[in-house]
Structure 1
Amino acid sequence: MANNTPSISIIMPAYNSRGTIRESIQSVVNQTFTDWELLIIDDCSPESMKDIAESFHDERIRYIRLLKNSGVAAARNTGITQAKGRYIAFLDSDDLWLPEKLEKQIQFMEKNHYAFTYTWYRQFVTTPSQPIRLVKTKASVDYRSLLHGNDIGCLTVMLDRQQVPHIEMPGSYHEDYITWLNILKEGMKAYSLPQDLARYRLSKKSLSGNKKKSLTWTWKVYRESQNLSLLAASWYMACYIVGGIKKHYL
């Protein structure tokens, strides 16, 4: 990599996020690891967020505004296409990272030569300093184990493009889950750094908050995206439901 090429490209899709994006950007600026670029992809919001991005006066921050509203997958894919870094990380415009997130994760990847990693994180509603639940993950997942349910928070993922050259999110619900499955389908594993390094904002508008829709989308992941048989899809759906009950209620 050339000296003027950042090690990590951070992809931040944004839509109507003026109330939260400043805090999200600040959590990137506060990183102890400084060799990064932040690509903010404004998905044609009614109110531009360019002024907020420019208010940081940081050349590492790049603001890109889409000409039409195309959805979060298209926004992320635009960011991936424009990214200059070897590593790709994702952070939505209402979520946050703890200051050592990038430093610890890239050290974890480089030490072990991992291509795909993720971390623990905490959920919060309004105040990041008052999180409500720690989301722990399995030490590692492969394709089959990930079919039991998505154990990977998008805001914690980091991918090495030298080992995962093709990263593209489909225009379907649970686009991140499908992306992880498609990557692991090639025989790869994803590894967890078992440390709490991010904050995920819960809201009534959150797509993942609608359990009925999430079940429908997960079924489509199994049947339409991954082309599983009816029997296999039913088995994994049962595992997904049981896992969800354990995760949220036990």
Structure 2
Amino acid sequence: MTQPITVVIPTRERADTLRHCLQTVVAQPCNRLQILVSDNASSPATREVVDSFSDARIRYVNTGARLSMAHNYEFALGHVDSGWIVMLGDDDGLVAGRLEPTVAMLEASGLMALSSETCFYNWPKVTSDREPALTVPLSQAVVTVRSSDAVADILRLVRPKARLPQTYTGGIIHADVIRAARAKDGSFFQSQIPDIYSSFAITATVERYLYSKAPFAIAGRSSHSIGAALFKLEKNAFLEEGLIPFHRDFPTGEIGTLSFSMPAIQFECHTQAAFLHEHRTGVSKQRMLDLMMANTKTGRAEMLQWGRSFASLHGLDYDLAIRRMPQVRRESRMLDGWRSFRNLLECARLYPGDPMPLANVQEASETAAALLANPPSRAWSTVRTLKKRFV
């Protein structure tokens, strides 16, 4: 029996990007498509955008009052009963014509979750001439991944073989997976960073998942992006709206987030999901401290202060972590270098001013599909990127 595919779009005060995001979804040639827009108590402009489509497949729901991001995601998922779930950010999109084939591939595998590489799109005004407006992975490789192995790689900061699946752009999850996780504690999201947390909740619930290097979705970066705002290390409205508290093992930073260190966010989310899984990563609290303190690209002063609190809470050797920082940082830079090199070889890039339509994510959707259908020479793309960066 064919199961429905529901594209869920949580949104808040982003009518300008939501319009183009929806265009990439309604244009998908998919007979079983359903679309759910979960409006986090926005101004009327959001509802006006949804209504302008006059599309019976679109269902609009409203939280009625401002919720945290995680609670809005939870509210949205509560309106999906069955089938496959694809969640998109409201400045993200789907690659033209790629949704149905990707879901069909997942169904043929017999698995319940998929993660994929994504295209990356920089909306106008958030990129420079040297940054690509659109990055499109060109590989078509698909593999089955053991969840526990992938989680261990991520948390040990070794070379990851695959992305983790998530209820956000680039992931496809069956509603039964969400239901199984909810059965343990009543709600699916248990962290204030819902996309990263969902990766650990999903991999705790499924033994294996499908990983596709071929993209079906586009992750957008716009002036609205919450992730970018968090990593500016400034207090903002997002932090004032009933967030799920950090796990008691992770002291709250002075600015209210752990965004000064991506490993800190990952460890916190993994710990929040511990009631769902028995993944043994071999990462001790002391090693966590090493990795969290060494992998801080901004906010190093905040990290040093927070690291001392974390060490004190768990009886760890803070001074030892300080001495290890140079070595751990070198190891992490090598990993970052490998990721950048792989990305350089495996992706096509278009830049502002190129003669391809890229004014919004809907145009990027069509352009990405064209590049995937007729991929350019990887050597040409690599040389061009190097010229942009260094010439």
**TM-score (structure 1 length as normaliser):** 0.81
Q: 2:148 aligned with 1:143, yes or no?
A: yes
In 2, are the aligned partners of 1:7 and 1:85 still within 8 Å (CA)? yes
Report the Cα distance in structure 1 between the residues aligned to 2:340 and 2:226, rounded to whole angstroms. Answer: 16
Q: How does 1:185-224 map to 2 (within 5 A)?
A: 185-186=204-205, 188-203=207-222, 206-209=225-228, 210=231, 212-224=260-272
In 2, are the aligned partners of 1:143 and 1:181 still within 8 Å (CA)? no
CA change 1:19–1:183 in 2 (3 A) is: same
User: Which of 68, 87, 91 does residue 88 from structure 2 map onto?
Assistant: 91
Report the Cα distance in structure 2 between the residues aligned to 1:213 and 1:19, rounded to whole angstroms. Answer: 31
User: Which of 47, 52, 56 does residue 50 from structure 1 map onto?
Assistant: 47
SS at match of 2:106: helix
Q: Deviations over 1:68-127 (max 9, x none)?
A: 111222222222211144111111111010122221112111211110012221111126
CA change 1:183–1:161 in 2 (3 A) is: same
Segments of 5+ residues of structure 2 without an aligned counterpart are 125-131, 155-161, 182-186, 232-258, 276-282, 293-327, 343-391
User: Which of 97, 100, 103 does residue 103 from structure 1 map onto?
Assistant: 100
Q: Deviations over 1:140-197 (max 9, x none)?
A: 3513422433824621211123465335542524322222212222452121123122
Whichever residue aligns with residue 20 of structure 2, its letter is E
Report the Cα distance in structure 2 between the residues aligned to 1:182 and 1:117, rounded to whole angstroms. Answer: 14
Q: Deviations over 1:41-62 (max 9, x none)?
A: 1111244411110111111101
Report the Cα distance in structure 2 between the residues aligned to 1:141 and 1:25, rounded to whole angstroms. Answer: 33
Q: Identify the structure with the greater strand proportion.
A: 1
Residue 75 of structure 1 is matched in structure 2 by 72
Q: How does 1:99-178 map to 2 (within 5 A)?
A: 99-126=96-123, 130-132=133-135, 134=137, 139=143, 140-149=145-154, 151-152=163-164, 154-162=168-176, 165-166=179-180, 168-178=187-197
SS at match of 1:44: coil
In 1, are the aligned partners of 2:170 and 2:215 still within 8 Å (CA)? no
CA change 1:142–1:62 in 2 (3 A) is: same
Tell me how large the CA RMSD over aligned residues is.
Answer: 3.4
Residue 285 of structure 2 is matched in structure 1 by 230
Report the Cα distance in structure 2 between the residues aligned to 1:67 and 1:248, rounded to whole angstroms. Answer: 43
Whichever residue aligns with residue 199 of structure 1, its letter is I
Bigger drift between 158-167 and 36-45 goes to: 158-167
SS at match of 2:21: helix
CA change 1:38–1:185 in 2 (3 A) is: same
| Count of aligned pairs | 246
Aligned residues with identical type, % of pairs: 14
In 2, are the aligned partners of 1:21 and 1:93 still within 8 Å (CA)? yes
SS at match of 2:37: strand
CA change 1:84–1:226 in 2 (3 A) is: closer
Report the Cα distance in structure 2 between the residues aligned to 1:174 and 1:248, rounded to whole angstroms. Answer: 25
User: Which of 12, 15, 32 does residue 15 from structure 1 map onto?
Assistant: 12
**TM-score (structure 2 length as normaliser):** 0.54
Report the Cα distance in structure 1 between the residues aligned to 2:24 and 2:60, rounded to whole angstroms. Answer: 17
CA change 1:235–1:182 in 2 (3 A) is: farther
Q: Identify the structure with the greater helix proportion.
A: 2
Report the Cα distance in structure 2 between the residues aligned to 1:232 and 1:103, rounded to whole angstroms. Answer: 42
Report the Cα distance in structure 1 between the residues aligned to 2:153 and 2:223, rounded to whole angstroms. Answer: 25
Report the Cα distance in structure 2 between the residues aligned to 1:117 and 1:51, rounded to whole angstroms. Answer: 33
